[in-house]
Structure 1
Amino acid sequence: RLMDALMGVKRGVPGAALPELKQRRVKSAAATAVLEPEPEVPARSDVAADNAVPAPPFWGSRVVKGIGLKEYASWLDEDALFKGQWGLKQARGGPSYEELVESEGRPRLRGLLDKLQTENLLEAAVVHGYYPCVSKGDDLILLDDTGAELTRFSFPRQPRGRFLCLSDFFKSEESGETDVIGLQIVTVGSRIGEATAKLFASDSYRDYLELHGLSVQLAEALAEYWHARVRSELGIAGRDPHSLDGMLRTDYQGCRYSFGYPACPNLEDRAKIAELLRPERIGVHLSEEFQLHPEQSTDAIVVHHPEAGYFNAGGRR
């Protein structure tokens, strides 16, 4: 009605007028504001410091290529694909989402997975590694084999709540103990990106969106699959759930954090991971804007601490 009235006024329709603005009563900010003192931020949160440190299978980095689709396809988050990437949803009076998944989602998914296999569009590969480390305040210091500083990450700390910081999940420098951190970069390769670009250039937008969305989710599936392998190598996979839903809810020990998210928002830290892991060995490069190319790639730091989980460094967990 508002747009009809607006167009009527613009066209000079006799009697056309915009409706009067409704008056809103807004309480004065001065009357409602309650000043609270800023809490004193501690140097470390209440995260347990007596957890055991697992022994990694090796130190440094290793490359793994030729990972078959069947190894990580089972880790695909179908809801993220169907709802988030493909926009599959129930229309008013139409079939339910579950019915659409069975009639449209999964058949289309099976067809695309077969296409990826037959046309050899996937080049799944991983470069990962384990490094000794210690924490110091908000910093995490990675060490070389002599105990000297290799590189350093600085993470934000929550200003309230539990005052969590990623560095808290590692042994402090003062403890005299050395901890371990996992790093990983995974990719499904550049061929699938080239295939989606061709679809876009030919105006095949639906096919482009479906294949592009699937490629992004396959990269995430590969990252989850490899994170599970890291947990197994560290000997902390005993708490892994038996269902994929439990895995996707991160109902396991430890956590995988990617740069750009609230707990580690600094994208420039990707350059430090790239310097250590040298992802060009699997065809992945870091742009000047600190984006991974090909797009269907992800990086992460892997934390083994039992209390590690996702949190917002700007507020409460």
Structure 2
Amino acid sequence: LKKIAPAYKGIVLYTSKAMDGLTLGNRIVDPVQLPGLIEEWEKKRAVAEAGRDLPGEKAVAGRRKPVGKAKPKAVIAKPRAEPELMPSRWIETDVPEPPDLELHILRDLPTEEIFKYVNVNMLYGKHLWVENLTKRLKDQNDEKLLKLQGQVREVFEEAVWEDIIVPQAIHRWFRAWPEGEQICVENPDGGEPEKFYFPRQRNSEELSAVDWIRPRELGGDYVNMFVCTTGPDVGYKSTQMRKEGRLLASHILQALALEMTEATAEWLHEKLRRDWGFADPPSFMLEDLFKARYRGIRLSFGYPACPVIEDQKGLFRLLKPEQIGVELTEGMMMDPEASLSAMLFHHPQARYFGSGF
């Protein structure tokens, strides 16, 4: 209600439990119950807009309304039609030279090594619904978890053996420079540069990813772009498993495909940092990678710092990831689903943030 609902015209509903979601769904499609549901939502929204605690929320200890003149809230404006009105604010740092500006297609990736980069919290906690995962991972005698881990390993080995999970990637370094709230990326084919929109926050920080790119008049900069995928046949294999009555295996395969794509991105990003001349320290652990404690950052279009998902078109024109079997749909989604695209920045101060749009 406080963060998501303001961005939509209709009602925004949320439940923390799957069964509650079913109940909520029934109320939505029931013409008798829907008016009451909308009335409840309107009351909650009014409470949220007034800045009061929502029913069921814990009050923050010691919180009071400020006495005297209230501090004005930051106003977030609409994206401007002329991005050049908000220029880059380059933060001085070294600009490492990439090893080359050639296109790299990586087909024979080390699947077993990439599997080690899978985020178990996401795989088991989010996709496979294991509760109290952190505690249970420490318990060497948790038979249910051990059994599930064995099933995951079996599905993984089957998928690798049958060439269902086949990690691939395509990447390239490009010359780049800021132009207002856009990053211009040089077209290696000699055409017009591709421009990617990174709207500046309209709040006190006024952050934008363009500040991590050295201006052209100072020599310009570099970015890396990549697309990775785990292969086109996951959907077919998953459907086949369901028809055979292997429902859990089917779900595990889909979860594995998604998390193997994330793992491939993590593995590749680590490699690219090393090739770019700023390798992670030897003491780095997987937890450090998952928490993005390395130098630089990778951003994907459609997420808070770069919300214009249509910029995927520019990335696809530059990389042509169709060469590894990844295509862009009319809705700017990638096919196969287990695919990921990103733009990499080297700047030490680069960090995640929301633009507010």
- Which bin holds the TM-score, normalised by the shorter protein? 0.7 to 0.9
Please tell me whether the aligned partners of residues 155 and 249 of structure 2 are also in contact (alpha carbons under 8 angstroms): no
1:35 Cα offset (Å): 7.1
Residue in structure 1 matching 2:332, options 264, 267, 290: 290
Matches within 5 A, 1:51-62: 51-62=93-104
Distance 1:252 1:164, change over 3 A: same
CA RMSD for the aligned pairs? Answer: 3.4
- Distance, in Å, in 2 between the alignment partners of 1:142 and 1:28 is 41
Aligned with 2:210 (options 156, 159, 167): 167
Query: Which of residues 211, 218, 234 is equivalent to 2:260?
Result: 218
Larger Rg: 1
Tell me the equivalent position of 1:13. none
- CA separation of 1:117/1:148 partners in 2, compared to 1, >3 Å: closer, same or farther? closer
Partner of 2:119: 77
Q: How does 1:139-154 map to 2 (within 5 A)?
A: 139-144=182-187, 149-154=192-197
- SS of the equivalent of 2:240 reads helix
Residues 39 and 160, structure 1, Cα contact 8 Å, conserved in 2: yes
* CA deviation after TM superposition for structure 1 residue 232, in Å: 0.8
SS of the residue corresponding to residue 225 of structure 1 reads helix
Aligned to 2:166: 123
> Cα distance, 1:122 vs. partner?
2.1
1:246 aligned partner: 288
Task: Pick the aligned partner of 2:311 from 269, 282, 285.
Answer: 269
Q: Do the aligned partners of residues 176 and 197 (structure 1) sit closer, same or farther apart at CA in structure 2, a change above 3 Å counting?
A: same
Q: 1:146 to 1:260 in 2, by over 3 A?
A: closer
How many Å separate the matches in 2 of 1:165 and 1:27?
Answer: 29
CA distance in 2, matches of 1:150, 1:221: 31
Structure 2 length-normalised TM: 0.72
Pick one of 179, 201, 218 that aligns with 1:158: 201
* Per-residue deviation, residues 139-167 of structure 1 (Å, max 9, x unmatched): 10112469974111111211113211111
Change (3 A) 1:172 1:201: farther
Cα distance in structure 2, aligned partners of 1:65 and 1:51 = 34
Number of residue-to-residue matches in the alignment:
289
Taking only the aligned residue pairs, the percentage that are identical comes to: 24
Give the whole-Å Cα distance in 1 for the aligned partners of 2:76 and 2:177.
24
Q: Paired residue for 2:249?
A: 207
SS at match of 2:103: strand
Partner Cα distance (2:190, 2:305) in 1: 26
Which ranges in structure 2 are unaligned for 5 or more consecutive residues?
1-22, 24-39, 52-64, 78-84
Question: Displacement, 1:242?
Answer: 2.0
The one-letter amino acid of 2:219's match is E
Paired residue secondary structure (2:94): coil
